[in-house]
Amino acid sequence: MSAPRPYNDLHDHLDALREKGLLVTVDRRIDKDSEMHPLVRWQFVGGMDEKDRKAFLFTNIVDGKGRPYDIPVVVGAMAANRAVYSVGMDCDLDKIQAKWDHAIAHPIDPLVVNDAPCHEVVHEGEAVKGEGNGLDRLPIPVSTPGFDSAPTLSATNVITKDPLTGIQNMGTYRAALKAPDRLVVRMATRVGGAGGYQHYLAHQKRGDTEMPVAIVLGCPPYVAFMGPQKLPIGVDEFTVAGGLAGAPINVVRARTVDLLVPAEAEVVIEGYIDTTRVEPEAPFGESHGHIALEEFNMPMRVTAITHRRDAVIPSYISQVAPSESSVIKRVAYEPLFLAHLRDTLSIKGVKKVSLHEPLTGLLRVTIITLERDVPRTEVWRALYGAAYFKGDCSKICIAINDDIDPDNGDALLWAMGYRSNPIHDVQTLAHRGAGHGPKRESAQEEDSTLLIDATMKSPMPPLALPKREFMEKAKTIWEELGLPALRPQAPWFGYSLGDWMPQWDEAAARAVAGDYLVNGRNSLAAQQPGLKPETKFRPT
């Protein structure tokens, strides 16, 4: 049976991005192996504001040998920035977490259909073997030219199934091309890692020599977002995607493996993972910001490749953050941390949780923003709660007040430098897992966590910058003079931190008005004998 589709597929999504000015189409010839990812990477390392980043659609693609491809590639289409992600979620950024919460609480089972766009073109058997066939027909980019050893699938939804319960899992795992009919899949084996790896272990335990797998490229956005999202083990991601859509997701049975795949997918690569042997895979630039060195991972033999007639292949910009993959995770993870601290642990005064993105890739530094005057006990409950919420996050946890911009490293150092006393406000926690990073995850090496209370413990004097109205007036003059464009970074004006009196406001207003002599007469009247210089004074 066929069915209507009350949600966007990738083509609809690209149209929506184009309409909002969030898609750049590149028609000039681009080498997928040496030029494509470096070109898109510049918008992440070239000093551009996040709001100016866009998705890139490449229509004239060749490989390192000059061989042309007839399938376009889109990079950054899921989350070049938060605006792109919001288009995929079909809601404003501030409503995304509520939409996720509703979808998880109200899952909708998928609808199995017979006719599917992903089966418009089918390559099976001998058609996936030999140079120029199978995987070799797909314009898969090299993600980190100069380091990666192979074109690698990055924007994947890898589908496996629990051999005992029959429940499917969908995760985003990289897969390196090795031959037209073979690739090697990397699934995280660490605690809290890949759901697909748990299926792999279950097949091994049963004595199965192979595990059925389908690698999907170009899902409808609601489905694509399932791969990076961390859902409880045993939850079928198709049901949560249905919750996001408010209607069943159309799925179809794969051609050569017993799995259900998204009917509107762009490309589906079917096959079997060998559970008896492993094959070297990588080097590959990883999302923790280092090159993952060569390791043994899971070889997969390809039994079929199906795709739409007008297929578009997506590729994620990952590696050093900020990146597309870090934006996807950040938008999803930060509200989860906030809900855990504020709702589950009932910690009062928690306003925001920020996962530091540049270079650290969200996993190493967690910043908790709290209201002023929150009791010390609540500050430390928040720090402990964030530290233990996710096993691979929060190596460094910092508590700050809401006047500090958590994305401004200088402001964080200022808060730590003036608002924390290391002997009282710093703690370390032992016996933490190493998590996702450049060290071998299989070595079971332990790590630790650093907790820092950088909140104000008592009122402090104002930040020593001109007040907002004077900075804004000066900015207007700056622009009238045609000086270089400004990019204000908080803090860019002075404000009270509690230790300030109205009499000082009045004196400052007189100074601005040119009436400093009045202030001089007032201070003359307050002269006192016999006091040590630097004795504090409070006007009455």
Please check the confidence at residue 438 and state whether its pLDDT lies above 70: no
3-state SS, residue 453 = strand
Please check the confidence at residue 442 and state whether its pLDDT lies above 60: no
Distance CA(479)–CA(471), nearest Å, equals 12
351: alpha, beta or left? (left if phi > 0; alpha if psi -120 to 50)? alpha
Please check the confidence at residue 441 and state whether its pLDDT lies above 50: no
pLDDT for position 335: 85
For residue 105, give every residue at least 6 positions away whose Cβ sits within 8 Å of its Cβ, in sequence order, or none.
Answer: 243
Average pLDDT, the chain: 92
Task: Determine whether 435 is exposed, middle or buried from the number of CB atoms within 10 Å of its CB (0-12, 13-18, 19+).
Answer: buried
Please check the confidence at residue 443 and state whether its pLDDT lies above 70: no
Q: Which residue has the higher pLDDT, 446 or 295?
A: 295
pLDDT for position 49: 87
Q: Which residue has the higher pLDDT, 397 or 435?
A: 397
With respect to CATH, is domain 95-310 assigned 2.30.110.10?
A: yes
pLDDT for position 1: 46
3-class SS letters over 34-74: CCHHHHHHHHHHCCCCHHHCCEEEECCEECCCCCEECCCEE
Q: How confident is the model at residue 194 (pLDDT cuts 50, 70, 90)?
A: confident
Q: What would the pLDDT profile of 100-132 be if each residue is shown by its tens digit? A: 889 988 999 999 999 999 999 999 999 999 999
Q: What would the pLDDT profile of 478-508 be if each residue is shown by its tens digit? A: 999 998 999 888 889 999 999 999 999 999 9
For 360-383, letters b (16+ CB in 10 Å) and e give bbbbbbbbbbbeeebeeebbbbbb
DSSP code of residue 137: G
- Per-residue pLDDT averaged across 279-296, rounded? 89
- Reading the block at residue 294, the tokens are 């060569």
Query: Would you say 501 and 538 are in contact if contact means Cβ atoms under 8 Å apart?
Result: yes
Please check the confidence at residue 158 and state whether its pLDDT lies above 60: yes
- Per-residue pLDDT averaged across 2-13, rounded? 87
Q: How confident is the model at residue 309 (pLDDT cuts 50, 70, 90)?
A: very high
Please check the confidence at residue 317 and state whether its pLDDT lies above 60: yes
Q: Which residue has the higher pLDDT, 497 or 1?
A: 497
For residue 183, give every residue at least 6 positions away whose Cβ sits within 8 Å of its Cβ, in sequence order, or none.
Answer: 135, 153, 175, 176, 177, 269, 299, 300, 302
The rounded percent of the chain whose pLDDT value lies above 90 is 79
- Per-residue pLDDT averaged across 383-408, rounded? 93
pLDDT for position 291: 87
Q: How confident is the model at residue 418 (pLDDT cuts 50, 70, 90)?
A: very high
Residue with tokens 């079997």: 272
Q: Which of 423, 186, 216, 171 lies closest to 308, judged by CA?
A: 216
Q: How confident is the model at residue 175 (pLDDT cuts 50, 70, 90)?
A: very high
Q: Which residue has the higher pLDDT, 410 or 360?
A: 410
Number of neighbours of residue 93 by Cβ within 10 angstroms: 12
pTM: 0.87
Residue type, 331: V
Please check the confidence at residue 223 and state whether its pLDDT lies above 80: yes
Pick from 225-239, 249-263, 394-408, 481-495: least confident: 225-239
Where are the domains positioned within the chain?
Answer: 95-310, 324-453, 468-525
Q: How confident is the model at residue 76 (pLDDT cuts 50, 70, 90)?
A: very high
Q: How confident is the model at residue 471 (pLDDT cuts 50, 70, 90)?
A: very high
- Per-residue pLDDT averaged across 39-53, rounded? 90
Please check the confidence at residue 157 and state whether its pLDDT lies above 90: yes
DSSP conformation letters of 479-490: HHTTPPPP---S
- Per-residue pLDDT averaged across 271-291, rounded? 91
- Per-residue pLDDT averaged across 368-384, rounded? 96
User: Before 145, cis peptide (omega within 30)?
Assistant: no
- CATH number (3.30.9.10, 3.40.1670.10, 1.10.10.10, 3.10.450.50) of 324-453 reads 3.40.1670.10
Please check the confidence at residue 87 and state whether its pLDDT lies above 90: yes
